[in-house]
Structure 1
Amino acid sequence: MVRFENVGLRYGLGPEVLRDLSFRIEPHSFQFLTGPSGAGKTSLLRLLFLSLRPTRGLITLFDHDVATLDKDALAVLRRRIGIVFQDFRLLDHMSTYENVSLPLRVLGREEESYRHEVEELLHWVGLGERMTALPPVLSGGEKQRAAIARAVIARPQLLLADEPTGNVDPNLAKRLLRLFIELNKSGTSVVIATHDIGLMDQYDARRLVLHEGRIHVYD
């Protein structure tokens, strides 16, 4: 599904923040992405989401060489990826329900075909009473859950989550991890960036560890 070969990334004329990254993410796989603060986890997720292009090296995603794709082709590929950003990126003029259902609208589905599905997921993540609320009145944890629901609602082939449990209590964190695990069982490859060692130790999953710009893989 994803292949990195000797990938490097630098911003402007600065030093490389990621270098010589070579690894694969297989279909139906589940992995944690970890490393110290500033190691480049968010930059790597942005490469995976195609919002950044590498400075050097080869990235192959869904059998496409990313370097050969134009903006329209990249946009089509992104529809196969779900992502949870640290800053949530909810649309302030849309309700919680509308934000979560947006990926399905982009895919051209009629509301009557997905309304129950969206409402059920919002109840599951504890937002059943907040469906009509706008993002500015949601708490940080509520925004986090809405962003997660939006990322998984279309059952993407690849799910990327940047510190998805950082704003919720431990019990809800486990509940959200179960959601990711069930999504993985249904066929989605999952990459969760986290610095929470205790959380990772609860699951037998592959680890991608970033250290000083390089990646180490522990199966």
Structure 2
Amino acid sequence: MIRFENVGLRYGMGPEVLRDISFRIDAGSFQFLTGPSGAGKTSLMRLLFLALKPTRGLITMFGHDVSRLSRSDLPTVRRRIGVIFQDFRLLDHLTTYENVALPLRVIGKAESDYRTDVVELLHWVGLGDRMHVHPPVLSGGEKQRASIARAVITQPELLLADEPTGNVDPTLARRLLRLFMELHRLGTTVVIATHDIGLMDQYDARRFVLNEGRMHIYD
């Protein structure tokens, strides 16, 4: 599904924040991305979401050379990806329910076809009584859960989660990880960026470890 070959990334004229990154991610796999603060985890996730293009090297996703994708091609490819951002990116003028349902509306589904699924997922992540309020009144943890629900509601081919359990308590963190594992069982490829070693130790999954812009892989 994804292949990086000698990828480098720099911002402007600054030093490379990622250097000679090479790896492959097979369809239906599950992996963690970890490393110290400033190691480049978020930059790598932005490359995977096609928010950035590499300064050098080759990235292939879903059979496409990323550097050759036109601006008009990007929305089609991105619809195959669910993303959980650290800054949530919820739309303040939409309710929690409407934010979570938005990816389904974008692809043209009728509300009668998805309402039950959205409501059920909101209850599952503990937002059943918050579905009709707007993001400004949600806590950080509630916004995180709404962002997670929005990312998984379409059962994407690829799920990218940047510190998805950073604003929730350990019990809810384990519950959310079970949700990601269930999506993986159904065929979704999952990449979770986290610094929580204890959380990773609970799962038998490959680890990509970034340190000073370079990657080590532990199967």
TM-score of the alignment, normalized to the shorter chain, above 0.5: yes
Q: Secondary structure at the match of 1:116?
A: helix
Matching residue of 1:167: 167
Give me the TM-score of the superposition, normalised by structure 2: 0.99
1:95-174 aligned within 5 A = 95-174=95-174
Matching residue of 1:209: 209
Matching residue of 2:59: 59
Q: Which moved more, 1:67-76 or 1:111-120?
A: 67-76
User: 1:154 offset after TM fit, Å?
Assistant: 0.3
Matching residue of 1:48: 48
User: 1:212 offset after TM fit, Å?
Assistant: 1.2
Matching residue of 2:24: 24
CA RMSD, Structure 1 to Structure 2 (Å):
0.4
Matching residue of 2:191: 191
Q: Secondary structure at the match of 1:72?
A: coil
Matching residue of 2:37: 37
Q: Secondary structure at the match of 1:207?
A: strand
Count of aligned residue pairs for this structure pair: 219
Q: Aligned partner of 2:182: which letter?
A: E
User: 1:66 offset after TM fit, Å?
Assistant: 0.5
CA–CA distance in structure 1, aligned partners of residues 25 and 74 of structure 2: 19
Matching residue of 1:15: 15
Matching residue of 2:76: 76
Q: Aligned partner of 1:186: which letter?
A: L
CA–CA distance in structure 1, aligned partners of residues 69 and 50 of structure 2: 10
User: 1:29 offset after TM fit, Å?
Assistant: 0.4
CA–CA distance in structure 2, aligned partners of residues 29 and 4 of structure 1: 16
User: 1:116 offset after TM fit, Å?
Assistant: 0.1
Q: Aligned partner of 1:55: which letter?
A: T
Deviations 1:104-154 (A, max 9, x none): 011110000000000000000000000101000000000000000000000
Give me the TM-score of the superposition, normalised by structure 1: 0.99
CA–CA distance in structure 1, aligned partners of residues 201 and 17 of structure 2: 27
CA–CA distance in structure 1, aligned partners of residues 63 and 218 of structure 2: 24
CA–CA distance in structure 2, aligned partners of residues 150 and 167 of structure 1: 16
Deviations 1:23-64 (A, max 9, x none): 011100000000000000000000000000000000000000
CA–CA distance in structure 2, aligned partners of residues 75 and 109 of structure 1: 17
Q: Aligned partner of 2:185: which letter?
A: K
Q: Secondary structure at the match of 1:83?
A: strand
CA–CA distance in structure 2, aligned partners of residues 142 and 79 of structure 1: 24
CA–CA distance in structure 2, aligned partners of residues 8 and 75 of structure 1: 24
